[in-house]
Amino acid sequence: MHRVLIIGVGSIGERHLRCFGRTGRANLSLCEANADLRQRIAGQYGIVSAYSSLDEAMVHEHDGAVICTPSQLHVPMAVELARRGMHLLIEKPLSVSAEGVEELQTLAQAKGIVAMVGYVWRMHPALARMKQLIDAGRFGRPLQLVSVSGQHFPTYRPAYRDVYYRDRATGGGAIQDALTHNINTGEWLVGPIDRLVCDATHQLLEGVEVEDTVHLLTRQGGVLGSYTLNQYQAPPEWSFRIVCEAGTLLFDNYPVQLKWMTEPGGEWTCAPVAEVERDDLFVAQAARFLDVVEGKAMPPCSLVEGVQSLRVNLAALRSSESRQWEGVR
Ligand SMILES: NC(=O)c1ccc[n+]([C@@H]2O[C@H](COP(=O)([O-])OP(=O)(O)OC[C@H]3O[C@@H](n4cnc5c(N)ncnc54)[C@H](O)[C@@H]3O)[C@@H](O)[C@H]2O)c1
């Protein structure tokens, strides 16, 4: 059994607590600053060690931690825990700036710890199959990526006005909160984004001023990419179309489908896919984290890949202000 500390048991931290529990491979403790929430979640999940601060938690030994606090706290917390040699699963986005990131990378390497970033879509079996097909070269070289997405955020996150989402400085706005998933998945599928131009604005969400609508154009090596997202449409849509030299692949999440076409005006070939519950992805991610700690697997999203997607977020934010193409640096 691995001793795993969940830090921050708000929306996603509670999910991690439940999903690590479902692996049956972890002794869990939690750390939460909000006293009411701390007591409620500890009671609900039968957690004996529930700390009110990281300092308090550090009095005891832990093998690893899942950092589920707002994003501006991720890197300072990760640096502190890496110094103690703890393995880390850090929620996305890695941060809201480049500050401290190099120090974290150096420390993680020096201490030989596992450091993963929680871009959980990498655990989706149909997307993993899509990546396999692309990597195997079955459809030739990828040329174009089109990602279309949107969801009714007030339905899925009624508290959006009261949490980190309302401010870019705490990881808020559509780019850092939502589009970053598409960015990370797009980079996983066809390679890193080198440069981009981004148009983003606030269109509809009440009670906030951050952007809720984004259009992003990218260059990813030889691939031209386009990513669009809004946070108010009815369909919870999340799609990736990858056009390759000898075939077009399409992943869609609502309902889940993976299909491809190789002949102009031909038939789609549909891969068998299973509906996946959101918790399933988090249980798979938790199990993989423990596998990586045990030396049995590679991280689904390494720290290096998480840093690259952070750089893309920051370039997209810069471009949305400058209205210019920006290099990812
Ligand atoms: N992977 C995903 O699909 C996904 C989904 C939602 C959120 N997230 C990410 O997870 C992070 C948290 O998001 P959330 O929606 O759970 O936010 P949240 O506000 O619901 O929860 C954050 C929790 O951290 C606690 N906290 C803050 N500072 C603390 C400290 N110093 N010590 C202990 N606890 C502290 C807060 O009290 C709060 O309960 C963000 O980075 C967000 O981008 C990821």
Tens of pLDDT, residue by residue over 102-118, are: 999 999 999 999 999 99
Do 230 and 127 sit in the same domain of this protein? Answer: yes
What atom of ligand 1 comes closest to residue 69's alpha carbon? 24
Percent of the chain with pLDDT over 90: 99
Model confidence pLDDT, tens digit, residues 245-273: 999 999 999 999 999 999 999 999 999 99
Tell me if 286 is assigned to some domain.
Answer: no
Give 164 Cα–ligand 1 centroid separation in angstroms.
Answer: 8
Bridge partners for 226 per DSSP: 146, 217
Rounded to an integer, what distance in angstroms lies between the CA atom of residue 175 and that of residue 131?
23
Burial 35-48 (b: 16+ CB within 10 A, else e): eebbeebbeebebe
Q: Cα(163) to centroid of ligand 1, in Å?
A: 8
Residue 207: inside a domain, yes or no?
yes
Question: Mean of the pLDDT values across residues 219-242?
Answer: 97
The answer to whether residue 39 sits within a structural domain is yes
Q: Is the peptide bond before 93 cis (omega within 30 degrees of 0)?
A: yes
Is 72 within the bounds of a domain?
yes
Q: Are residues 158 and 201 in the same domain?
A: yes
Residues 44-90 pLDDT 10s: 999 999 999 999 999 999 999 999 999 999 999 999 999 999 999 99
CATH number for the domain that contains residue 152:
3.30.360.10
Q: How far, in Å, from the CA of 74 to the mean position of ligand 1?
A: 10
Q: Are residues 107 and 15 located together in one domain of the fold?
A: yes
Nearest CA to ligand 1 atom 38: 10
CA of 89 to the centre of ligand 1 (A): 13
Note whether 55 and 178 are same-domain residues: no
- The whole-number pLDDT of residue 84 equals 97
Any domain includes 211: yes
Q: How far is the CA of 5 from the centre of ligand 1 (A)?
A: 14
- Domain-ending residue, one of 120, 142, 165: 120
Nearest CA to ligand 1 atom 29: 33
Ligand 1, atom nearest to 118 Cα: 1
Sheet holding 64-67, edge to edge: 50-51, 26-31, 2-7, 64-67, 87-90, 115-117
Q: Residues with Cβ within 6 A of ligand 1?
A: 7-8, 10-13, 31-34, 37, 53-54, 68-71, 73, 91-92, 118, 120, 163-164, 171, 177
Among residues 118, 116, 102, which one has the least CA distance to residue 303?
116
Ligand 1 geometric centre to CA of 63 (Å): 21
Between the CA of 8 and the centroid of ligand 1 the distance, in Å, is 6
Cβ atoms of 139 and 115 within 8 Å: the answer is no
* Mutate-to-test residue for ligand 1 from 97, 116, 119, 164, highest number of ligand atoms within 8 A of CB: 164
229 has a pLDDT exceeding 90? yes
Question: Domain boundary residue among 120, 143, 160?
Answer: 120
Residues 191 and 320 in one domain: yes
Domain count, the chain: 2
Q: What pLDDT is stored for residue 51 in this prediction? A: 98
Residues 165 and 308 in one domain: yes
How far, in Å, CA of 288 to CA of 301, rounded? 11
Task: Beginning with the edge strand found earlier in the chain, give each strand of the sheet holding 326-327 in spatial order.
Answer: 269-270, 256-261, 247-253, 237-244, 142-150, 223-230, 213-220, 195-201, 326-327
d(CA 271, CA 256): 10
275 pLDDT above the threshold of 90: no
- For the domain that residue 86 is a member of, what is the CATH number? 3.40.50.720
The answer to whether residues 112 and 205 belong to one domain is no
What does residue 291 show for φ and ψ, rounded to 5 degrees?
A: -60, -40
**Residue 65 sits in the same domain as residue 206:** no
Domain with 49, as residue range(s), is 2-120
| CA 153 – CA 232 distance, rounded (Å) | 6
Task: Give the pLDDT band of residue 129 (cuts 50, 70, 90).
Answer: very high
Give the whole-angstrom CA distance, residue 12 versus residue 120.
11
pLDDT at 157: 95
- The 10s digit of each residue's pLDDT in 131-186 is 999 999 999 999 999 999 999 999 999 999 999 999 999 999 999 999 999 999 99
Ligand 1 center–CA 92 separation, angstroms: 10
Residue 289 lies in a domain: no
Nearest CA to ligand 1 atom 5: 12
Look at residue 136 in the predicted model and tell me its pLDDT.
97
Domain boundary among 120, 135, 170: 120
Task: Decide if 227 is inside a domain.
Answer: yes
Residue 84 sits in the same domain as residue 97: yes
Q: What is the mean pLDDT of the chain?
A: 97
Atom of ligand 1 nearest to the CA of 54: 32
pTM over 0.85: yes
Same domain, 126 and 116: no
The answer on 141 and 62 residing in a single domain is no
Do residues 101 and 128 both lie within one domain? Answer: no
Ligand 1 atom index nearest CA of 52: 33
- Whether residue 153 lies inside any domain: the answer is yes
Amino acid at 48: V
